[in-house]
Amino acid sequence: MPSERHLILKNIRKPGYSTDIECYLRHGGYQALRKALALQPVAQPDGTAIGPKEQIRREVEISGLRGRGGAGFSCGMKWSLVDRKSGKPIYLVCNADESEPGTFKDRQIIHRDPHQLIEGMIIACYANDVHLAFIYIRGEFIEGARILERALEEARAAGFLGRNILGTGYDLDIYIHRGAGAYICGEETGLIESLEGKRPYPRIKPPYFPAVLGLYQCPTIVNNVETLCAVKHIVDMGGAEYARLGTPDNTGTRLVCISGHVKRPGCYEIEVGKVTFRDLIFDEAFGGGLHDARQLKAIIPGGVSAKVFRAGEKVRVTKRAADGKMFETEMDVLDLPYDFTSVSAAGSMSGSGAIIVLDDSADMVEVLANISEFFAHESCGQCTPCREGSLWMAKILRRLAKGNGQPADLALLLSVADQIPGGRTICAFGEACSWPVQSLLVKFGDEFRAKVQATADKRPDRAFAEVQ
Amino acid sequence: MKQSQQSNDPLASPPGMISVTVDGRTVLVPRTMPDWQGRQVPTTMLQACELAGVTVPHYCYHPKLPVAGNCRMCLVEYGVPALGPDRKPVRQPDGSLVIKKSPRPAIACATPVSPGMEIYTSTPTVKLMRQSVLEFLLINHPLDCPICDQAGECKLQEYSVEYGRASSRFAETKVHKNKQIDLGPRIMLDQERCILCSRCIRFTRDVVGDDALGIINRGSYSAIAAYPGTTFDNNYTLNTADICPVGALTSKDFRFQMRVWFLKETMSLCASCGTGCNIVIGSRENCIYRFTPRQNDAVNSCWMCDYGRLNYRWIERTDRLTRPGGSKLTSPDWEDAINGIAAALKKAVPGHIAIVASARLTNEELYLVRRLAQFLGAPTDCVPRSGPADNLLLCADRNPNTKGAQLLGIAASPPGVNLPVFARLIRNGTIRSLLVFGEDVTRHGITADDLARLDFLAASDIHTNGTTAVSHYFLPGCAHVEKRGSFTNVHGRIQRFEKAVDPPGLARPELHWLRELVCRVTGQSMGGTVESVFEAMRAEVPAFRNIAWADLGDHGVATHG
């Protein structure tokens, strides 16, 4: 029986659990921090010693934790890339700019268990010699910012933040920075620019890799809210133990946001790769199935920028057999395990963990027009293909949705979408705005063709013009 | 790529060099090259391509501005030597490197080259990317070239020829923005034409140090704007019209005045201060339409100040001196004037004659003044001019050739210190004759009453002035745009300039009649061209020794002063 596996949501789901620090402490809060700060250097056979900070970083590396923000990049690897010899301060920024449509997991943590995030952050900061950290929270999370402010004050008063934390000599402060309502601030270099008080224009890489030239041109770590919470649990249970959760390469637990046409939309915590789309959509422990008399039509597996799956679609994935050998197999998309590797092998991504379920009541032209309008509205406008292409696609799609499309529009749309992603833009927004167009047009092409054909039938003059 | 010889191994370049291949041609490029501030930083693909003779199209990149990487026009494909499991480069049986092509393109303006890198700038993929960027830039562009001042020097037009589509695929309503924004006293902004390359923002912020411009709104609705409640008004605003690759920023002074392809371009210098910014004069049918900066990294980089750029309208003033005159000249005849002055000078007694010559005259002209002064035994000086300097180009010395006047011994030390002495010596009767070239001494301490005491006064200038009005002889001179010559800037760099327009009426370049005067008075002979006077000057004046006219080239050389 598929079921949730609560690590991050463990306390949140308990009745009467509140955001107060007393409540958090009653539930074992800040024990992981105490454990981290109490670590002693471990002597090595060669006479050297591994310091406590490096021990934590190793545990995170051993845990196999992959970033929960969207890209699924190894957290241990990200930390290992930090330039620790520059002589400049190292900053850590918690990315709480949760904006990917369909994603509402970080908000759960912030609203219901802010101290879990703060504890994870303090540990991550300690492990990386950070003395100043920021929580960049999206502008719309007004209540979330208020809750975090209060939690930070509580943590300061309790000696978990500020000077000489718990008498160890370690200093750290955390500040909250509220965004002004732009999706692009979730892109880490755009976030850094915004934090510096500028327009959130993502930076070009090279040379501005945050690990070397981040906030104020200093080495900077940007981690997602959920990732930082996971760090707390890794210290708590040990990296190896954490890695036993989930599947190899996709370790630990993960929050999944299920929305759309299911009976029980919500935020669920799963062992990564241990449940399938079928479980997540149909099982009573998760989505609980579609509404009565509805058929599954599409799954957007990782926020709206992820490429769509069509119901009944067969996907080819490479799997590891019991003997360790890799083999390729074909399966129904519903049988695909929900993890970074499988979804990506199937041609999409698990992104921010947002699964949007669409049943047969959805008009896919309308769906894509809606998604494209979002991206046209959120394109920062810095680089040409995304700035102009995102709005162009949105305008074509709005015209199609209104019934003013022509058959040639579909090829045009696809050719526009093809010229935005793949390194043509500064940041991954180029991919984000074009992948939905590319995938919906291909996988639901019949629906788009029917729509423009209906238009042509209604307006023979235009159809005639098209033939000409 | 063919690299069968190990000695030609791209990974074994001389120290400080990197071997890269651009479109199949292997070139050695320096490991580092100057960035926009002149600091040595790793050489970029774009720089390497330039060295290989391949131009990569671009909009936002400018060699003198921080890299933005936003236009995406310079995207290229590339590959780097493949590494084996031992982290060593994989080689073909013939020893050449196996190149692993990157799946993603890179912007040439910001991506450093690495040893053995291969850059592909003309593959179908690269061409398609350029076509797409151009198409994206044009879909919301107003395409109002017929009324756009940039037409003829517009990067959108130029690249459209190479990468544009004949017809638009864009069937939607364009984004409309404000086409007439009065950004500041000298700049107009058309937001619809703007391609948001951010050159103007970066120049104003990073070169001028004025954080005046920014972008408002987002996505395709983004637009350049001045900070709310402020106007775009520093001394360098017009450079933004130069570096704007399209017609978004236009000079209020130049807009709608002349099609750029009609302009004759003349290599010249700005004469409004001692910096000596290199410029191009745009003129047509003897009328000047604009000054634009000409790159000279030793002087002004790619910039010039608004003050100097707009300081040309006076050339067309109606009170120009257009013919010789004076109380002793009966007809406006050059021959009579030179003869009259020469005759008077031959009678002048050393110790009783003085010369004031403008530091706006050229080195060659001042050299002729020097010859005259030496022969006549006349003390000389210049009229100093100063104004507030800024931290970029405008210098406090508002004469273009004070340094030249100093090197030639015309200017006193400090310049102008002799003027009150001359006034006193005129008043006590010691100085009986005075020559004034290109100045109005009545505005600099020698009064009209003083001048009336003189036995002989000859003057020249461009406009009628208080001195020419009371002269026995006056001669019409030329603005520097009306003649050839050289100036020595405040840092001792000698630079030449060419003639853009003809002087009005009978006015002649000072060099011509000064030479006649020198020959007539001294009895010496001398060639009449700028070059021959320059030759004579460098033979005589140590600061110009070993500098030939041809050495000055387009960017000048340092004098030995």
Please give the share of chain A, as a percent, with pLDDT higher than 90: 92
For residue A419, what is the nearest residue in chain B, using CA coordinates?
B132
Domain boundary among B67, B98, B132: B132
Considering the domain architecture, whether residues B347 and B397 belong to the same structural domain is answered as: yes
Does the distance separating the beta carbons of A384 and B133 come in below 8 Å? yes
Helix residue ranges per DSSP H, B63-222: 124-139, 155-163, 199-202
Considering the domain architecture, whether residues B164 and B226 belong to the same structural domain is answered as: yes
B400 within a domain of the structure (yes/no): yes
Does the distance separating the beta carbons of B70 and A383 come in below 8 Å? yes
- Mention every residue, 6+ apart, whose C-beta is less than 8 A from residue A320: A248, A326
Q: How far is A77 from chain B (nearest CA, A)?
A: 19
Considering the domain architecture, whether residues B256 and B350 belong to the same structural domain is answered as: no
Interface probe, candidates A383, A399, A434, chain B, greatest B C-beta count within 10 A: A383
Does the distance separating the beta carbons of A182 and B218 come in below 8 Å? yes
Helix residue ranges per DSSP H, B354-464: 363-376, 402-407, 419-427, 448-452
What's the pLDDT score for residue A458?
Answer: 76
Residues of A in contact with B137 (CB under 8 A): 384, 388
Beta strands in B114-243 (DSSP E): 118-120, 181-182, 187-189, 213-216, 223-226
Interface probe, candidates A193, A386, A388, chain B, greatest B C-beta count within 10 A: A388
Residues of B in contact with A382 (CB under 8 A): 70, 196
B311 within a domain of the structure (yes/no): yes
Considering the domain architecture, whether residues B419 and B524 belong to the same structural domain is answered as: yes
Does the distance separating the beta carbons of B136 and A385 come in below 8 Å? yes
Does the distance separating the beta carbons of B106 and A384 come in below 8 Å? no
- Residue A259 to residue A186: CA distance in whole angstroms: 21
Any B CB within 8 A of A396 CB: yes
B47 within a domain of the structure (yes/no): yes
Does the distance separating the beta carbons of A390 and B219 come in below 8 Å? yes
Residues of A in contact with B112 (CB under 8 A): 206
Considering the domain architecture, whether residues B424 and B533 belong to the same structural domain is answered as: yes
Q: Give the number of A-B residue pairs with CB atoms closer than 8 Å.
A: 98
Helix residue ranges per DSSP H, B170-227: 199-202
Whether the bond between B42 and the residue before it is cis, its omega within 30 degrees of 0, is no
Any A CB within 8 A of B104 CB: yes
Considering the domain architecture, whether residues B354 and B293 belong to the same structural domain is answered as: no
Q: Which of residues 376-395 of A touch B (CB under 8 A)?
A: 376-385, 387-392, 395
Buried b / exposed e over B468-500, threshold 16 CB at 10 Å, is: bbbbbbbbbbbbbbbbbbbbbbbebbbbbbebb
Helices and strands in chain B, H and E counts? 14, 24
Any B CB within 8 A of A399 CB: yes
Considering the domain architecture, whether residues B100 and B156 belong to the same structural domain is answered as: no
Contact B353, B376 (CB under 8 A): yes
B550 within a domain of the structure (yes/no): yes
pLDDT tens string A25-80: 999 999 999 999 999 999 999 999 999 999 999 999 999 999 999 999 999 999 99
If you compute the radius of gyration of chain A from its CA atoms, what whole number of angstroms results? 23
Q: What is the largest CA-CA distance in chain A?
A: 86
pLDDT tens string A272-309: 999 999 999 999 999 999 999 999 999 999 999 999 99
ipTM: 0.94
- Residue A3 to residue B115: CA distance in whole angstroms: 53
The beta-carbon neighbor of A424 closest among B72, B111, B139 is B72
Token pair listed for B537: 């000057």
Q: How far is A126 from chain B (nearest CA, A)?
A: 34
Q: Which of residues 191-210 of A touch B (CB under 8 A)?
A: 199, 201, 204, 206-207
Domain boundary among B74, B103, B132: B132
The domain containing residue B216 runs over which residues?
138-316
B323 within a domain of the structure (yes/no): no
Considering the domain architecture, whether residues B371 and B520 belong to the same structural domain is answered as: yes
Contact A109, A226 (CB under 8 A): yes
If you compute the radius of gyration of chain B from its CA atoms, what whole number of angstroms results? 29
Does the distance separating the beta carbons of A392 and B112 come in below 8 Å? no
Which CATH number goes with the domain that contains B528?
A: 3.40.50.740
Does the distance separating the beta carbons of A199 and B215 come in below 8 Å? yes
Contact A252, A320 (CB under 8 A): no
Which CATH number goes with the domain that contains B40?
A: 3.10.20.30
Beta strands in B374-492 (DSSP E): 380-381, 433-437, 456-461, 473-476, 485-488
Does the distance separating the beta carbons of A381 and B222 come in below 8 Å? yes
Whether the bond between B504 and the residue before it is cis, its omega within 30 degrees of 0, is no
Any A CB within 8 A of B318 CB: no
Q: What is the largest CA-CA distance in chain B?
A: 97
The beta-carbon neighbor of B172 closest among A381, A384, A396 is A396
The beta-carbon neighbor of B129 closest among A207, A378, A424 is A424
Which CATH number goes with the domain that contains B288?
A: 3.30.70.20
Any A CB within 8 A of B311 CB: no
What's the pLDDT score for residue A460?
Answer: 59
Q: Is B413 exposed, middle or buried (0-12, 13-18, 19+ CB in 10 A)?
A: exposed
Does the distance separating the beta carbons of B106 and A426 come in below 8 Å? no
For residue B138, what is the nearest residue in chain A, using CA coordinates?
A388
The beta-carbon neighbor of A383 closest among B72, B106, B217 is B72
Interface probe, candidates B43, B46, B67, B70, chain A, greatest A C-beta count within 10 A: B70
Considering the domain architecture, whether residues B386 and B295 belong to the same structural domain is answered as: no
Interface probe, candidates B35, B36, B60, B72, chain A, greatest A C-beta count within 10 A: B72
Element (H, E) at A345: helix A340-345
Does the distance separating the beta carbons of B139 and A395 come in below 8 Å? no
What's the pLDDT score for residue A465?
Answer: 52
Does the distance separating the beta carbons of B136 and A389 come in below 8 Å? yes
Domain boundary among B108, B132, B156: B132
Considering the domain architecture, whether residues B174 and B80 belong to the same structural domain is answered as: no
Any A CB within 8 A of B67 CB: yes
> What is the number of domains present in chain B?
3
Using alpha carbons, select from A206, A215, A228 the residue that is nearest to residue A94. Answer: A228
Task: Please tell me the number of Cα atoms within 13 Å of A106 on its side-chain side.
Answer: 32
The beta-carbon neighbor of A424 closest among B75, B111, B140 is B75
B349 within a domain of the structure (yes/no): yes
Any B CB within 8 A of A170 CB: no
Interface probe, candidates A194, A378, A382, chain B, greatest B C-beta count within 10 A: A382
Q: Is B550 exposed, middle or buried (0-12, 13-18, 19+ CB in 10 A)?
A: exposed
B54 within a domain of the structure (yes/no): yes
Considering the domain architecture, whether residues B432 and B526 belong to the same structural domain is answered as: yes
Considering the domain architecture, whether residues B35 and B92 belong to the same structural domain is answered as: yes
Does the distance separating the beta carbons of B137 and A388 come in below 8 Å? yes
Interface probe, candidates A183, A204, A396, chain B, greatest B C-beta count within 10 A: A204
B343 within a domain of the structure (yes/no): yes
Any A CB within 8 A of B71 CB: yes
Q: How far is A459 from chain B (nearest CA, A)?
A: 17
Interface probe, candidates B220, B221, B227, chain A, greatest A C-beta count within 10 A: B220
**DSSP3 helix / strand / coil % (chain A, rounded to 5):** 45, 20, 40
- Residue A226 to residue A233: CA distance in whole angstroms: 11
Token pair listed for A241: 């133990």
Does the distance separating the beta carbons of B173 and A395 come in below 8 Å? yes
Q: How far is A392 from chain B (nearest CA, A)?
A: 8
Low-confidence ranges of chain B (pLDDT < 70): 1-8, 561
Strands A253-260 and A354-359: parallel
For residue B105, what is the nearest residue in chain A, using CA coordinates?
A423
Cα–Cα distances (Å) from B526 to A10, B511, B530, in that order, read 101, 12, 11
Does the distance separating the beta carbons of A384 and B73 come in below 8 Å? yes
The beta-carbon neighbor of A376 closest among B67, B112, B219 is B219
Low-confidence ranges of chain A (pLDDT < 70): 459-468
Q: How far is A425 from chain B (nearest CA, A)?
A: 7
The beta-carbon neighbor of B220 closest among A388, A422, A425 is A388
Whether the bond between B415 and the residue before it is cis, its omega within 30 degrees of 0, is no
